[in-house]
Amino acid sequence: MRMTRVAGTFAGIAIAALALAGCNSGSPTSPGGDGDADGGDALWEVATDVSLEGSPTFDRASEADEIVIGVKSDQPGLGYEDAVSGERSGFDIEIARWIAASLGFDEEQITFETIPSANREQELVNGNIDYYVGTYSMTDARDEVIDFAGPYFITGQGLLVAADDDSISGPEDLADKVTCSVTGSTPLQRIRDEYNGEVTERQTYSECVEQLLSGQVDAITTDEAILAGYVAEDPDNLKLTGSPFSEERYGVGIADGDTVLKDHINTLFTDGGDVWTALFEEYLEPSGVEATQPEVD
């Protein structure tokens, strides 16, 4: 029931976004971003004659004539898949499409795989995906097994509570509460390591939202940019509380050692400030997220 409402509400936003994005139809002639529906130019072209000598990932994708990208599917504004149309949208999804286009892959050659937080490193290590774009914080522990391009976005850990709950204004107030977060995520680890209170974990944040709306948990903790997307869906029932209490630097997860691909993506980000701003304004600013484009490492 609630999921239907979430999907339905977002469909409205998605349709507006699609109108702006030249329908994002998957046609190679209408790449993602701000397309021709409003008379503007497409944000990017699909590159031709790309050569990325020394990138095993690029070689594999070229050979397969397909690029496989790991993403999220339940994070409105970031990585979202419409349950009815199957349309993927959000800031992370467009970043993923932009990278694919820069490598010469059009929409028809992209396969999106929904992969939860806990499985990201393993899917990259196994070579099941070519790269991952989904609220993926660059951490030293993850860097041991994979590499990151970026950062392309910075947010911080926050708290989501019921709109009528005034008893929580920071992580210190969670001692006698039940908080939901996601397996394998940095916010789950931090709330366990540094604060008191009961913590319950799920595979996805939308499962946590279900639990909060039905009163089974008191709070959800993860990155504010993710939580703001849920609030935008359901502002009558949900609100952000307190201030961010970490720095989460989002990177693109790639195979360990593929420095050629890493450099390619970092150059794309560095040279693509206009694209970044257009995507931010379209997908994240509407839910009240504030950010500027970070410099890549």
φ and ψ at 69, to 5 degrees?
-120, 125
CA 202 – CA 246 distance, rounded (Å): 21
Is the Cβ–Cβ distance between 226 and 186 less than 8 Å?
A: no
Structure tokens at 129: 């995906």
Interaction of residue 104 with ligand GLU, rule CB under 6 A: no
State the Cα–Cα distance between residues 80 and 74, nearest whole angstrom.
5
Query: Considering CB under 6 A, how many residues would be counted as binding ligand GLU?
Result: 12
Out of 135, 241, 287, 293, name the contact with ligand GLU by CB under 6 A: 135
Name the CA radius of gyration of the chain, rounded.
Answer: 19
Among 224, 248, 258, 282, binds ligand GLU (CB under 6 A): 248
Concatenating the DSSP letter of every residue in 88-103 gives EESHHHHHHHHHHHHT
DSSP code per residue over 113-145: EE--GGGHHHHHHTTS-SEE-SS-B--HHHHTT
Q: How far apart are CA 3 and CA 164, in angstroms?
A: 21
Q: Which of 187, 229, 251, 253 binds ligand GLU (CB under 6 A)?
A: 187
Q: Is 236 exposed, middle or buried (0-12, 13-18, 19+ CB in 10 A)?
A: exposed
The residue from 137, 206, 221, 246 that contacts ligand GLU (CB under 6 A) is: 137
Residue pair 28/44 in contact (Cβ under 8 Å)? The answer is no
Least gap, CB of 235 to ligand GLU (angstroms): 22
Of 60 and 192, CB closest to ligand GLU: 192
> Per rule CB under 6 A, is residue 245 in the interface with ligand GLU?
no
The CA distances from residue 102 to 17, 47, 249, in Å, are 22, 5, 22
Per CB under 6 A, does 136 bind ligand GLU?
yes
Considering only residues 146 through 185, tell me which ones interact with ligand GLU, judged by CB under 6 A.
182, 185
Residue 117 Cβ vs ligand GLU, minimum distance, rounded to whole Å:
4
**Toward ligand GLU, which CB reaches closer, 105 or 245?**
245
Examine residue 73 and tell whether it contacts ligand GLU (CB under 6 A).
no
Residue 189 CB, nearest approach to ligand GLU (Å): 8
Binds ligand GLU (CB under 6 A): choice among 223, 224, 233, 282 = 223
Piece of 2-10, 49-57, 105-113, 133-141 that binds ligand GLU (CB under 6 A): 133-141
Query: Among the candidate windows 90-98, 99-107, 130-138, 171-179, which touches ligand GLU by CB under 6 A?
Result: 130-138
CA distance 36 to 22: 5
Q: Which is nearer to ligand GLU, 24 or 137 (CB)?
A: 137
Pick the piece of the chain touching ligand GLU (CB under 6 A) from 4-12, 38-46, 53-61, 134-142: 134-142
Residues that bind ligand GLU (CB under 6 A): 117, 134-137, 182, 185-187, 222-223, 248
